[in-house]
Structure 1
């Protein structure tokens, strides 16, 4: 028997993997497979080899999933970057329609005296502030903000964050609500809303009726 084959078999019976033996002896795994096909092992070695094989497959699957997930993220980012560049600016009419559609989805429709819009997405809040200011012609002093946060969130930091988003002073914030809603209690992790949820309130009957009229118009054209 070849000396290297004898050593390889000895190592295999010790529970060494194909990769380990191949690296030590410089022998291809295909050759090792031929040498080992008729080998018999003790139960302890069989269990060890089976365990190592399972671990190897688990590592391979984990690595594959990580690479696949990364590839999916990179592809998604590339598509999003390309598509985002197609929107360079929007007209006042487009802002009007988009803002009204967002209010339809996220705003309060039952109020008779106040416009109310609530969300935790800073980009959406920023967009709606632009809509209220430039389309609804809301005067700055009519805006009132109410912040709802989890108990472990810094009120000062959250207010500073939303002041920057809305460009409104602290004097236009109502008392902060520190609570966990029944819907999210023990289900939603606080870090998903690091700055809480912001409610925009506007006491302007004319604005309420104008927006309701626009919503009615949207329902009649689709």
Structure 2
């Protein structure tokens, strides 16, 4: 007896489509549709994707759920005030920024556009800045188009292209390469007092965890 006859054709097709699109396991489909997983498995024979493919995708889904499980604690950007911005900027700078006196002024370098724009946004909220004191340096590969990358970073950071100095051009070495690499951006702001303030906040924060 063909048990599939108990179910409507459009429901079977819907489940097969969901399986293909969302890469759900048979157990997940069973819980969602209240239909035995073994029945769904019979329906899905011959569909694209191996057991290993689905295992990987299910693991990725679980990791994503865990990563996002505490996202409700993140304040919205417009809710972060001046003092909070100063503190958050100091944490980022203490971890990723250049230290005094090796660099006399704010210098923050990273290849992650999200990290660079986050730091700059916090810095702008925390301090009254002078556009003339900014400069941007890009380290790029010889396979890149500097003008295109300069335009990208200029739009992202809301800084004029006149702020960009001559780039450092390197040749990619063998091995694995990142699929999307937009260069390493070094954002500089020539005011050592702001640099010292950021480092002072960061160092005081670290000391607060050290027993007297």
Q: Is residue 2:197 matched to residue 1:213?
A: no
The CA deviation at 1:145 is 0.2
The CA deviation at 1:209 is 1.9
Tell me which protein shows more helix as a share of its residues. Answer: 1
The CA deviation at 1:148 is 0.8
Larger Rg: 1
Aligned length: 157
Give the distance between the partners of 1:127 and 1:210, measured in 2 at CA.
Answer: 18
Contact 1:147 1:176 in 2 (8 A): yes
> Structure 1 residues 112 and 124, CA, compared in 2 at 3 Å: closer, same or farther?
closer
Give the distance between the partners of 1:81 and 1:190, measured in 2 at CA.
Answer: 24
Q: Unaligned regions of 5+ residues in structure 2, if any?
A: 1-48
TM-score by length of 1: 0.63
Q: Is residue 2:163 matched to residue 1:172?
A: yes
2:150 counterpart residue number: 159
TM-score by length of 2: 0.66
The CA deviation at 1:154 is 1.6
1:53 counterpart residue number: none
CA RMSD of aligned residues (A): 2.2
Give the alignment partner of residue 123 of structure 1, picking from 114, 123, 141. 114
2:54 counterpart residue number: 67
The superposition leaves residues 140-166 of structure 1 with CA deviations (integer Å, 9 ceiling, x where unpaired) of: 221100011111112122112111210
1:108 counterpart residue number: 98
